């Protein structure tokens, strides 16, 4: 077995990753307290999860002090991308278009955000104009 193997996080694992991404390296206790803000969770439950995630190389940990400090071993962006690809496949049968339309259509988007998207569109358009470098 090798490490450096990025897998698909489960629902709960993702919640924990979110916490680590938001707050940076954290102890089990901190992660657990954050989790409890959303949903009652026993301390050892959080611990176990983090240990499993450690096995899977989803997180790394610093064992210097008695209470280990865990940090995300995968970035938020790459994980989102991975999950998005999968989701696109299974739920929208690969049609990024349809997904975007539904996402934009059904969630109030601020004018500012709409502008950001417009900029992206512009950029995509330009990129496709002058094709390969």
- Contact residues for its own copies, defined by CB under 8 A: 11, 14-15, 18, 77, 79-81, 83-85, 87-88, 90-93, 96-107, 109, 111, 113-114, 116-118, 120-121, 124-125, 128
> Footprint of DNA on residues 36-65 (CB under 7 A)?
39-45, 47-49, 51-52
Beta carbons within 8 Å of 117's beta carbon, 6+ residues apart: 104, 109
Q: Are 20 and 69 in contact (CB under 8 A)?
A: no
Residue holding tokens 């330009």? 126
Angle at the Cα of 77 (from 73 to 81), degrees rounded to 5?
Answer: 110
Q: Whole-number minimum distance, CB 55 to DNA, in Å?
A: 10
For DNA, give the closer residue by CB, 38 or 117: 38
Q: Which does 68 bind (CB under 5 to 8 A by kind): its own copies, DNA, none?
A: DNA
For its own copies, give the closer residue by CB, 12 or 60: 12
Q: Whole-number minimum distance, CB 108 to its own copies, in Å?
A: 8
> Which one of residues 6, 10, 60, 82 is an interface residue with DNA (CB under 7 A)?
10
> Exposed, middle or buried, 64 (CB in 10 Å: 0-12/13-18/19+)?
exposed
φ, ψ for residue 94, nearest 5 deg:
90, -5
């Amino acid at each position: 077995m090798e490490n450096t193997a990025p897998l698909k996080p489960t629902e709960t694992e993702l919640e924990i990753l979110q916490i680590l991404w938001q707050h940076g390296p954290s102890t089990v206790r901190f992660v657990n307290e954050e989790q409890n803000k959303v949903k009652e969770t026993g301390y050892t439950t959080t611990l176990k999860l983090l240990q499993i995630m450690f096995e899977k190389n989803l997180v790394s940990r610093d064992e210097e002090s008695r209470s280990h400090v865990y940090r995300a071993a995968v970035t938020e962006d790459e994980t989102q991308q991975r999950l998005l690809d999968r989701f696109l496949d299974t739920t929208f049968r690969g049609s990024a278009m349809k997904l975007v339309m539904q996402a934009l259509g059904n969630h109030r988007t601020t004018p500012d955000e709409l502008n950001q998207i417009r900029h992206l569109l512009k950029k995509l358009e330009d990129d496709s104009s002058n094709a390969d470098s």
